[in-house]
Structure 1
Amino acid sequence: MSSPVYTPGMILPTTVVGSFPAVKGTGLSAVLDPYKHAVRFAVAEQIRAGIDIISDGQVREGMIRAFTAKLPGIQDDCVISSVQSAATGITVADTRYALTQAKKVKGILTGPSSIAHALRIQTPAYRNREELVIDIAHALAAEGRALAREGVSLIQIDEPILSTGAADIGTGAEAIGIIAAAVDLPICLHVCGPLAGIIDRLLRLPIAILDIEAATQPENLEIFSDRDLRGKMVGCGCVASSDHEVESVDLIKKRIERCIDIFSHDTILIDPDCGLRMHTPEGAFAKLSRMCEAVQLVRGEYQ
């Protein structure tokens, strides 16, 4: 079932959820762009660790601010008018650089619901937050199309809020559908936390990959035991992003094998539970490299 869009003929392709520690540059070039070095460092470290599908590192500001700072209609953390698409690509330049270094790169969008619920509405343009979510989805669809034109292999939408119950799941699903319809690429949806209450809604979404936390939320695996994946692949978090201790290769291998028990080896991708931005650069690299080492050991059993 491994799709050529991800990694042709490869068992257990490895990827990242997104963020990497931001190691800023110094000197004159850093004055012009303090994050330029951070992007290059993050990309190089993912490649050095052995990741098959990398990201641009998501090193610029936070996952919300990186988008809201560029979307017309939003000022700081306030919505002051109707939200529109950004005049130029938000993540395109960093992703373009990543594509010069690796064959497989994912474009990453912070989800419409997660963005909307981080903002204060201070305009009569929106009667409620659900209307804001939909407009943000249309704005992000434009960013998704721009990333597709650059040549990314897939688009990942990060919606950590969906598992909390704070956001309307129906509106969130509609917003994801808007982005998916606008982009002729596989869509990966990353949702943090326990998923038992929303799993059936998630599996009905027009996505190719559902990315879950399985290292720190092993109960997420059990809810799939009697469910039809509807042709979807699953991104299995096998490294704990919330724990600074670097797991052993053996522990990560056992987590991967548990995921295989649930899904089979040809329907999953392997990644950390979430982003690694809050780790030290050395710790983040160690987690990724040990994850890749564990994957190589498991791949050997199927080759």
Structure 2
Amino acid sequence: MSKAYFINKVLATTVVGSYPVVKAGGFKSLFDPLGSAVETAVTDMIGAGIDIISDGQVRGDMIGAFAGKLPGIKGQEVVGKIQPAASAITVTDTKYAISKFPKVKGIVTGPSTLAHGLHISTPMYRNKEELALDLAAALVVEARSLEAAGAAVLQIDEPILSTGVADLATGKQAVEMIASSVRIPVCMHVCGNIANVIDEILKYNVGVFDFEFSKNQANLDILSRRDLTGKMLGYGCVDSTTDTVETVPEIRKRIEKAVEYFDPKILLIDPDCGMRMRTREAAYWKLKNMCEAAKEVRLAL
């Protein structure tokens, strides 16, 4: 897949997705309490210099934001057959981001991660694998809506896959059900240590694999010995678990390490994971410094 297919820039920067929720008061917030948080997230990402932004994913955690809208689920209980949401879940916020910036990624929580975040309380499903496949079918509708809205890339978040808890064959089938339903490039984000799952993960038919490397430096060694066969790599080089802001030279060093192993043309530069739990100031400066570090490496190539 050509990088120019969705952004024509070496070492382009992006986000994994979420941003701190910054609420504002005022009359407008009575109608949409989190609308200002979306606006803040989008403004900050653009201001930091991110090349492919998100809507900030401020409407809830990755399980609740989707599960809360899908028929067949009440709270965290699966009580009936999963159906697509009555209306698009994330499209309104994604459209807002697109109205402010040309390159926006649409994001859905992966079927396996969703399935393992829910409790089955119906004989309709015998196990999480059956549940994951029906969740994938429901999320196809969301993915197509994001593509129609103008998302430049679709990201499927599957953090559960690195844990060894989820069935990787079912995970593959579920992810590919969504990925094959759209024509835009598809990225799959898997955080954590990928040592035990990497050979199976690389068989997933997606265009971009996104992993964390700043907290899991061993992932770079593991991946450098694998053939990415024309796939792109989302390179997490900023620690999302702390408010400590890495300096530009620190992040630059991490990016330079990646360039030693991989063609910079296949690399997308991003944080390890979402920034939802960080302060706004920390999140902004982590992104700002990351963009500056990427720019310095880009100019030095």
TM-score range, shorter chain: over 0.9
Does the CA contact (< 8 Å) of 1:2 and 1:11 recur in 2? no
The yes-or-no answer on 1:201 pairing with 2:228 is no
Query: Superposed, which structure 2 residues align to 1:193-272 within 5 Å?
Result: 193-272=192-271
Counterpart in the other structure of 2:3 = 3
Matched, 1:45 2:47: no
Q: How far has the Cα of 1:52 moved from its partner?
A: 0.1
Deviation of residue 28 (structure 1)?
2.1
Aligned partners of 1:285, 1:6: CA distance in 2, in Å?
24
Question: 1:106: which partner in 2?
Answer: 105
Show the counterpart of 2:115.
116
Query: Once the 2 structures are TM-superposed, how far is the Cα of residue 2 of structure 1 from its aligned partner?
Result: 5.0
User: Per the alignment, in what secondary structure is the counterpart of residue 223 of structure 2?
Assistant: coil
Q: Tell me if structure 1 keeps the 8 A contact 2:3–2:265.
A: no
Q: What is the TM-score with the length of structure 1 in the denominator? A: 0.98
Q: Report SS of the residue matched to 1:23.
A: coil
Alignment partners' CA distance in 2, 1:28 and 1:290? 35
CA distance, structure 2, for counterparts of residue 5 and residue 66 of structure 1: 29
Letter in 2 for 1:109: V
Aligned residues: 301
Could you give the per-residue CA deviations for residues 34-70 of structure 1, whole angstroms, max 9, x where no partner exists? 1100000000000000000000000111111000110
The SS at the match of 1:266 is helix
Greater Cα offset, 197-206 or 211-220: 197-206
Deviation above 3 Å: which 4+ runs of structure 1? none
Structure 2 partner of 1:81: 80
Secondary structure class of the residue paired with 2:10: coil
What is the distance in 2 between the residues matched to 1:123 and 1:28? 42
Paired letter, 1:292: C
In 1, distance between residues paired with 2:126 and 2:211? 33
Distance 1:194 1:24 in 2: 34
Q: TM-score with structure 2 length normalisation? A: 0.98
CA distance in 1, matches of 2:193, 2:132: 22
Q: Is 2:88–2:145's contact at 8 Å kept on the other side of the alignment?
A: yes
Q: Aligned partners of 1:2 and 1:216: how far apart in 2?
A: 29
Rounded Cα–Cα distance in structure 1 between residues aligned with 2:63 and 2:24: 23
Mind listing any 5+ residue stretches in structure 2 that lack a counterpart?
none
State the 1:301 CA deviation.
Answer: 1.1
Q: Secondary structure at the match of 2:84?
A: coil
SS in 1 for 2:12: coil
Note the aligned Cα RMSD (angstroms): 0.9
SS in 2 for 1:109: strand
* Aligned match of 2:287: 288
For residues 121-140 of structure 1, give each alpha carbon's deviation from its aligned partner in whole angstroms, at most 9, with x where no partner exists.
Answer: 11111111110000000111
Q: What is the letter of the counterpart of residue 145 of structure 2?
A: A
1:242 aligns to what SS in structure 2?
A: coil
- Partner residue, 1:176: 175
Residue 187 of structure 1: aligned partner:
186
Aligned twin of 1:65: 64
Q: Report the Cα distance in structure 2 between the residues aligned to 1:5 and 1:115, rounded to whole angstroms.
A: 29
Partners of 1:186 and 1:124 lie apart in 2 by: 36
Alpha-carbon distance between aligned partners in 2 of 1:105 and 1:230, rounded to the nearest angstrom = 25
Alignment of 1:16-35 (within 5 A): 16-35=15-34
Letter of the 1:253 partner, please give it: R
How far the C-alpha of 1:263 sits from its partner, in A, is 1.1
CA positional deviation for 1:244 = 1.5
Cα distance, 1:25 vs structure 2 = 2.0
> For 2:5 and 2:147, how far apart are their aligned partners in 1?
13
Aligned residue for 1:221, secondary structure, equals helix
Native 8 Å contact 1:6 1:53 kept in 2: no
1:150-182 CA distance string (max 9 Å, x none) = 111110001111101111111111100100111
Distance 1:55 1:103 in 2: 11
Q: Is the 8 A contact 1:53 1:104 kept in 2?
A: yes
1:279 corresponds to which residue? 278
Q: Deviations over 1:64-100 (max 9, x none)?
A: 1000110000000100100000111000000000000
Q: What letter matches 1:4 in structure 2? A: A
**8 Å Cα contact 1:213-1:237 kept in structure 2:** yes
Report the 3-state secondary structure (helix = DSSP H, G, I; strand = E; otherwise coil) of the residue aligned with 1:107: strand
Is contact 1:5–1:153 with CA below 8 Å preserved after alignment?
no
